[in-house]
Structure 1
Amino acid sequence: MFPKLPFQILAVIYIISVLGFIFPKLKTGIIPRKTKGLIGIIFAPFFHNNWKHLISNTIPLIILLFTLQYFYPNQFIKVLSLILFCGGVLLFLIGRKSNHIGASGIIYGLISYIVIIGFISLTMKPILVSIAVLLLYGSFIWGIFPSKQKNISWEGHLCYAIAGGLMACYPQLIQLV
């Protein structure tokens, strides 16, 4: 059966982003260490600065969501939820003062999870999936380092990647949900 949930999630992201384009005051992302930024832990990945930002996240997000649901269907909701929450909390705690928005953090978390869980499994199919993801998105590693581009949340990339890695390395965390 073809996974539909990734497209439904993407549709929600598009709807919320468009609302943010129409009503810019809605774009409440993660504002580290500010009470106002707590709501962003949940909503930040759904808002984007502009169409270019949204569209640039679309293809990797749909591919990675599809990959997660297809190869790890029993963990899909839990892993995605925990990456979203744990990555957001970590960014809230250590991020620079800014309004961090966008789904790229989730992309980094999914890459991290899929690659690490595949190699940890020591079985052929997950390892091949990990290799395929590395071939497609191996250059993602550069996005977790400080950048001269002030509008890119490298801290968000790093925090969500750490969250995805933790979910892969400590599957008992997934069982808590």
Structure 2
Amino acid sequence: MAHTLDGTRERAPFAARFVSPLILIALMWTIEFADMLLPGRFEVLGIRAWDLTHLPGVVLAPILHSTWAHLISNTVPFLLLGCLVAAEGARRFWAVTAIATVIGGIGPWLLAWPGTVTVGASGLVFGYFAYLMVRVFTAGTMSHRIIYAVIAVVVFVLYGGSMLVGILPVHVGISWQGHLFGALGGALAALLLRPRRAPQSRRAPR
């Protein structure tokens, strides 16, 4: 929703809402290409557990990946789930992304073995997934709840199993901490960004 000079609201085209996740995924791919061509490795800028000097890595980690396979495996679920979140508007997409990024980064920084470097967009993927699940219960109207419920069922059928396994410490080299806290961040975002109901006006006593 944009504002014109005279103060009226101007509704942006619906398709424009999906620009935000496309920008993020394009940035991830650009960085991976640069990582292939330039000396050094960008993933060293990710989250380094227990290292205060690497706290900026909490913000940078989601756009960094260790390998092409790592990036490719994150691309499709990121675009699908990210676009579902972005369908509510760019402002909400960036708010959910910011909350899931920060909360999702705290997990590996605190709980991973000291010195472990964590990178990748999977924390955001888990965050978007959890947001879409919890969003069913925070919708303002019954019609919206039904729509979000249908979306949640489809998303759970597609990714529910892998999401549940992903938050467990069962795979070596995969940050279950980032997955778990990313999901917690997405759930928190759904609660924090839920529609506020206007207080009902009280009738003056006669």
Alignment partner of 1:158 out of 164, 173, 180 = 180
Aligned counterpart for 1:108 among listed residues 126, 147, 165 = 126
How many pairs align?
171
How far is 1:142 from its partner? Answer: 0.6
Aligned residues of 1:95 and 1:156 also touching (Cα < 8 A):
no
1:137 pairs with 149, 152, 159, which one?
159
Take 2:85 and 2:56, find their aligned partners in 1: how far apart are those partners? 26
Structure 1 contact 30–40 (Cα < 8 Å) conserved: yes
Structure 1 residue 10 and structure 2 residue 33: aligned? no
- What CA distance in whole angstroms lies between the structure 2 residues aligned with 1:144 and 1:29? 20
Match of 2:72 among 29, 42, 55: 55
Q: Deviations over 1:142-176 (max 9, x none)?
A: 100002x321111110111111111123337xxxx
Question: 1:169 is matched with which residue?
Answer: 191
SS at 1:75 equivalent: helix
Q: How far, CA to CA, are the matches of 1:130 and 1:74 in structure 2? A: 21
Opposite residue 25 of structure 1, the aligned amino acid is R
If you compute each CA radius of gyration, which structure gives the higher value, 1 or 2?
Answer: 2
Runs of 5+ in structure 2 lacking a partner? 1-13, 195-206
Instruction: Quote the Cα distance in structure 2 between the aligned partners of 1:23 and 1:49.
Output: 14
Moved over 2 A (4+): 17-26, 71-74, 93-97, 119-122, 169-172
Q: CA deviation at 1:70?
A: 1.0
**Once the 2 structures are TM-superposed, how far is the Cα of residue 85 of structure 1 from its aligned partner?**
1.8
Alignment of 1:58-77 (within 5 A): 58-71=75-88, 73-77=90-94
CA offset at residue 95 of structure 1? Answer: 2.8
The structural deviation recorded for 1:25 is 3.4
- Partner of 1:124 in structure 2? 146
* 1:108 partner letter: F
Letter in 2 for 1:93: L
User: CA RMSD for the aligned pairs?
Assistant: 1.8
Structure 1 gaps, min length 5? 173-177
Question: Structure 1 CA distance, aligned partners of 2:130 and 2:175?
Answer: 17
Share of identical aligned residues, percent? 28
| Larger relative helix fraction | 1
User: What is the distance in 2 between the residues matched to 1:169 and 1:70?
Assistant: 18
| TM, length-normalised to structure 2 | 0.76
Worse overlay, 6-15 or 67-76: 67-76
Q: Is the 8 A contact 2:24 2:63 kept in 1?
A: no
Distance 2:73 2:97 in 1: 20
**Structure 1 residue 38: deviation in Å?**
0.9
| 1:175 match | none
Task: State the 1:109 CA deviation.
Answer: 0.6
Structure 1 residues 74 and 125 mapped into 2: Cα distance closer, same or farther (>3 Å)?
farther
Deviates more, 1:82-91 or 1:4-13: 82-91
Q: Distance in 1 between matches of 2:148 and 2:89?
A: 9
**Alpha-carbon distance between aligned partners in 2 of 1:141 and 1:72, rounded to the nearest angstrom:** 28
